[in-house]
A and B are shown apart, each in its own frame.
Chain A
Amino acid sequence: MEPVREFVIGISGESGEGVVLAGEILTIAAARMNIHSSSFRTFPAEARGGPSVVRLRLCRDHVYSLGDAYDVLIAFNEEAYQLHGPALGRHGVLVVDGDPEKPMSTRYPELADRTVYHIPMDRIARKDVGEPKTKNMVALGATSALFGFSREILERLLAEKFTKRGEKMMRDNLNAFMAGYDYADSQIEKQDPFEVEALEGDGFFVLAGNEAVALGALYAGCRFFAGYPITPASEIMEVLAAELPKVGGAMVQAEDEIASMGMVLGGGFAGVRSMTATSGPGLSLMAELIGLGSMAEIPCVIANVQRGGPSTGLPTKTEQADLTLAIAASHGDAPHVVLAATTIRDCFEIMEEAFEIAERYQIPVIVLTDQALGFRRADLPKSLLRERTGRALPPAPPDIVDKARYLRYQLTQDGVSPRSVPGQPGLAHVVTGLEHNEEGKPAYDPKTRRLMMEKRQRKLEGIARDYGSVLRYGDPEPEIGVIGWGSTGGPIREAVQMACDSGIKAAGLVPRLLYPSPNHLIRPFIESCKKIVVIEGNLTGQYAAFLRSQFPGFDPKQVNLYDGLPVQRGDVLRAIQEVAK
C-alpha cells in the first residue's frame, strides 16, 4: 500500500480527558519532524465538562486551512465517536477506546467497511499504568505507533513537558505513552495508508493565532499592554504579561475594557508603543475612547479576536461579525484603521504594520482576527523571529526651529502633524477630545472645525495608498472571483486552487487593509471577474455591504456562515461550484 503522507487527525473526548494536551504534543512532535501542520481545538464554554476535539492537519508544505474530513479519528470514548464520527472521511480510520473482542462495527454499521483499531486505553491507564488520568498518553502512544510519529521525539517531548510536574507525574505519563505505543505496535496489524515521514530541516516553531499576535506585537516594539480578560482573546494578554517585563515593558490587567483603552491611549501619548486585545463585547465598550484616540491623534493598536455575537453570544466560537462595529467604532466621523489578519503568520506580521501605521499616522488601528485564527495553530519558520530585533526606536522629537511656535496639530498636506511626547523639552502641549485649533486649544468656530475634520480624514488617503494590501490567488483571467477577509483567507486560497485544478477559472481576493478601503486594488479585481462571491462568517454580509457602499452597482452573490464554526475550504469550494453551474 502506497503510504499517504498528508492527512487530518481528529482527537476527541470529554473535556478534562486531556484531549487538548495530546493534540498540542502531537503538533509539536510534527514540527520537530519538520512536518507542517495546521491544528484547531474546540471546547465548551464552561471550564470543565462537555466534548472537546482537536483537529490536526499534517502536510509536507505549509498549509493555510484545516482541510476537510478527518482521515483518522482518535476517540477517547464511544460518545466521542458518536459526536465526531459523521466528520470521518469515507476512507477514514477510527482509533477508539474499546475491547477488540466487542468491535464497534457490530453496533455502528457505517464502520463495517472502514478500518477500526480498538485500543483499551482506559484499561491500560488503570491497570498497567495505575493512573486513570493518563488515558490521553496511552492514546498518544498508540497514535504515534500507528501513524509513524517518532517515539524518540515524543518521549523527549513528554519528559520536557512533565519535568516540572513532579517525578510521579512524569513517570506515569511516560509509562502510559510507552504502554500505548507498545500495545499498538504489537497487537494491531496496520491496514491503512496514513503515515507521516520525518523531513529534513531545523524544525519549526508552532504558534496559535493569539500567540502570534502577542509575539508580533512584541517584535513590533510594543512595550505596553493593558487588557481585560475575555474569551477568546486572553492568551494575547497572558503571553505579553510574561514577555513584556523581560524587555523593560509593562502590562496592566485593567478593571474593564474602557479602562484598558484609556490606559492604551495614555501609553501611546507617553510615546510607548501600546496595545490592548479584546473580543466583541470589549470592542463595544472601547468605542468612545477609540474616537478620542482619533480626535487627539494618539497612536494605539486594538486587537479584536472576534467571537459569536451579539451580547455574550458564543464566547468560545468564531464569527466575523464585528466588522461594521470596527469600521464605525465611535460616534462622529472618527478616522481610524481596520486591518484583518488572514493566517497565523499574518497574525504575527500584521502587528508590525499596525504599529507602523498607528505611529506614522498618529491614529488608532484595529486588528481583526477571530477565534478560528486565535485558537488555530500553525508551524512558522524560526527565521521569522531570528531576522528581527524586536526593538522600536522611541519617537524622535519633531524638528522644530522655533519651539515657542510649535503647533501640535499643524495643518499639513497629508494630515500628519509634528508630534512630541512627554519628556521632550520645550514641546509640551495639551491634547483634547474637544475640537481644537492647530495649537491644540479648544476651538469651535466653523472654519477651524472644517479644516481639522478634513486634516484628520486626509490621513486615510495616505494609509490606503501606502498600506493598501490585498492577497490575490488563482487564475489571472477569472470567470469567478471570491472575495473574503480575515480567517477565510486561508480557505479561499486553497479552495481557489482546488477549483482551478478542477478546471474552473477561479480567483480569490483577500484584502488585509479593510478600512480605509484600498479601492484602487479591489476595483481591478471586481472588474476582471464575470461573477463574484463574497463569503464571510456572519449573517448579514457585512463586508459585502461595505463593498457595495464603495462600488456603486456592485452586486455580488453572498455566502454567509454563522453557525459558530470556522469557514472551511469546502465551504468556499462549494460556493465556487455553485456559481460555476
Chain B
Amino acid sequence: MNPTAPAQASTAERKPSDYRSGRKPVWCPGCGDYGVLNSVFSALAEVRIDPDRLVVVSGIGCSSRMPGFIKAYGFHGAHGRAVPVAVGVKAANPSLDVLLVGGDGDAFSIGGGHLPHVARRNMDLTYVVMDNEIYGLTKGQTSPTSQPGTVTKASPYGSSEQPILPVMLLLAYGATFVARGYSSRPKELAVMVERGIRHKGFSFIHVLSPCLTFNKPVNFDYFDSKVLPLPEDHKPDDLFGAMKLASDPDKLYLGVHYEVDRPSFTERLYPGGVRPDPEPAIDTEALIRRYS
C-alpha cells in the first residue's frame, strides 16, 4: 500500500472499534490470535483506512477466520491461496487496500509456492502471518515451523524435520518490508502492521501467536524466553545484517528487520498507482491494422 497514492486512506478519524464486525471470534480461550486481531484494529484506525475500501483476504486455518471479525470486505478463500486472491484484488483494482492474514501452514506449506512471487512482484499488500508452529484447525499436526521432536498424532515419534525460518525466507525472496511481532506485545505489533500498511509494495509481518490447545509447549512462556529486540545498531536496509539476525533459530528478534524502497507492482502497472479514470477507449482501427 502506497502512502503517496492513497485512494485508500480517508481523512475521517477512526477508532479501533470501528473495524469490529460484531461477529464473535471462534478461537479458543487464550489463543494468540485475539491479540493480533486487536493490533490489526489499531493499525487500521491509525492509518484511517476506509472500511468500505478495505479487503481482508485469507486462506484456511484458525487465523484465516479473521476476515469475518473485521468490518470490511472480506475473502475467506481456499487453503494456501490467500496470496493469489489478494494479488488479483489489488491488480484488478489498485485503489482498494488489501490486507492478507493467515497462519503458518497456509502461508509456508500449502501456499508456500506463492510467497517468492508476491515478494518479487512487490505487490502492494500487507501479509500478517500468525505462526503457532502447528496445524490447529485440524487438531494438531506439525507445520513447517514446528520444532524438531514435536510430538503430534501424525508424528507420534517426534517430528524429524527442520523448521523453516520465515523471516529469512522472505528476505531471500526479495521482500521489501520484513518484520516480526509477537501477539503478547500488541502495541508494538500494531505499529508494525501500521508501518507495513504504509509501506510501498509488499510487506510481510511474521507474528508469534501461540496455540495453547494443540501446541502446549510453544506457549507464551516459550516465546517470552526467545524474543528480544533488534540490536540498536541494525540498519533496516542492511540485507545481510538482517539475514544474519534471522538465521538464529533460538533468538526471535522483534521489529522491522528490513525495509527498502522499490517500485511496487501497481506503480509500474498504472501511472501514479491508480487505474486511469475514465478508462481509455479501445483503439479499434489500430487492432484492425495489426491483424490485416
Contact = CB atoms under 8 A, between A and B. Distances in A.
Interface of A: 28, 31-32, 203-207, 211, 215, 218-219, 223-224, 226, 243, 245-248, 250, 252, 254-256, 258-272, 274, 288-289, 292, 296, 382, 385-386, 388-391, 421-434, 441-442
Interface residues of B, number: 54
Given A266-B84, A433-B76, A32 B68 contact: no
B84 A258 contact: yes
Contact of B292 (A31, A259, A296, A390): A31
A345 to B, nearest CB: 13
Given A211-B291, A258-B84, A223 B92 contact: yes
Nearest to B277: A248
B278 to A, nearest CB: 8
B198 interface: no
Contacts of A390: 281-282, 284
B73 A429 contact: yes
Interface stretch (B48-56, B188-196, B233-241): B48-56
Nearest to B95: A423
A386 B284 contact: yes
Contacts of B71: 428
B89 interface: yes
Q: Output the residue of B68, B96, B292 with the most chain A CB within 10 A.
A: B292
Interface in B83-100: 83-93, 95-96
B57 A266 contact: yes
A441 B57 CA distance: 15
A271 B68 contact: no
Contacts of A31: 292
B77 interface: yes
Given A245-B269, A246-B280, A289-B81, A266 B75 contact: yes
Nearest to B68: A430
A270 B68 contact: no
B76 A256 contact: no
B78 A288 contact: yes
Given A266-B92, A441-B68, A425 B52 contact: yes
Given A204-B292, A382-B292, 18 more contacts: A246-B282, A250-B269, A252-B87, A254-B87, A258-B81, A259-B84, A262-B88, A264-B88, A266-B75, A266-B90, A267-B89, A270-B92, A289-B78, A421-B73, A430-B67, A430-B68, A432-B68, A441-B68
Given A32-B292, A248-B276, A391-B281, A442 B68 contact: yes
Contacts of B89: 266-267, 269-270, 422
A385 B68 contact: no
10 contacts: A245-B269, A248-B275, A258-B84, A267-B89, A391-B281, A423-B52, A430-B73, A430-B76, A431-B76, A433-B78
A544 B68 CA distance: 45
A270 B54 CA distance: 11
Nearest to B89: A266
Contacts of B86: 266
A241 B210 CA distance: 44
A347 B153 CA distance: 53
A215 B283 CA distance: 12
B260 to A, nearest CB: 22
Contacts of B279: 223, 247-248, 391
Nearest to A385: B284
B74 interface: yes
A523 to B, nearest CB: 38
Contacts of B73: 421-422, 428-430
A429 B21 CA distance: 10
B154 interface: no
A433 B59 CA distance: 10
A255 B113 contact: yes
A156 to B, nearest CB: 12
Interface in B2-55: 21, 23, 51-55
A58 to B, nearest CB: 16
B117 interface: yes
Contacts of A441: 23, 68
A433 B93 contact: no
B8 to A, nearest CB: 10
A263 B84 contact: yes
Contacts of A265: 75, 77, 85, 88
Contacts of B291: 205-207, 211
B74 A272 contact: no
* 4 pairs of A and B residues whose beta carbons are closest in the complex: A266-B88, A262-B84, A430-B74, A263-B88
A262 B292 contact: no
A250 B91 contact: yes
B96 A422 contact: yes
A214 to B, nearest CB: 10
A391 B89 CA distance: 20
Q: Output the residue of B53, B276, B291 with the most chain A CB within 10 A.
A: B291
A224 B92 contact: yes
Nearest to A224: B92
Given A250-B269, A267-B89, A270-B88, A262 B113 contact: no
Nearest to B282: A390
Contacts of A429: 73-74
Contact of A426 (B52, B68, B87, B96): B52
B75 A423 contact: no
B114 interface: yes
B96 A28 contact: no
A206 B31 CA distance: 62
A262 B77 contact: yes
A275 B287 CA distance: 20
A31 B68 CA distance: 57
Q: Output the residue of A389, A390, A428 with the most chain B CB within 10 A.
A: A428
Contacts of A271: 92-93
Contacts of B275: 248
Contacts of B282: 218-219, 243, 246-247, 389-391
A31 B292 CA distance: 7
A415 B77 CA distance: 21
A228 B230 CA distance: 40
Q: Output the residue of B51, B55, B83, B113 with the most chain A CB within 10 A.
A: B55
A272 B87 CA distance: 13
